[in-house]
Amino acid sequence: MEKRCNSCNLNLTNDKSATSFKCPECNKEEVCRCGKCRKLGTVYVCKCGFEGP
């Protein structure tokens, strides 16, 4: 399944600096972020409503 950045919806397939991790709040949903959003510290929003830097 292709991964997309939770913040900007960018396809992460070719983004080497992208990261993904389990949401620290619900520990269920996977949060994906592209390299750009990591750098900028863009806020992500999980499906459970958790917002993180």
Q: In sequence order, what are the beta bridge partners of 11?
A: 4
Cβ neighbors of 9 (< 8 A, separation 6 or more) are none
37 binds Zn ion (CB under 5 A): yes
Tell the smallest beta-carbon distance from residue 48 to Zn ion (Å). 3
Contact string (CB under 5 A) for Zn ion, positions 4-33, x = contact: -x-xx-x------------x-xx--x----
Structure tokens at 31: 């949060």
Distance CA(43)–CA(8), nearest Å, equals 10
Binding site for Zn ion (CB under 5 A): 5, 7-8, 10, 23, 25-26, 29, 34, 37, 46, 48, 50
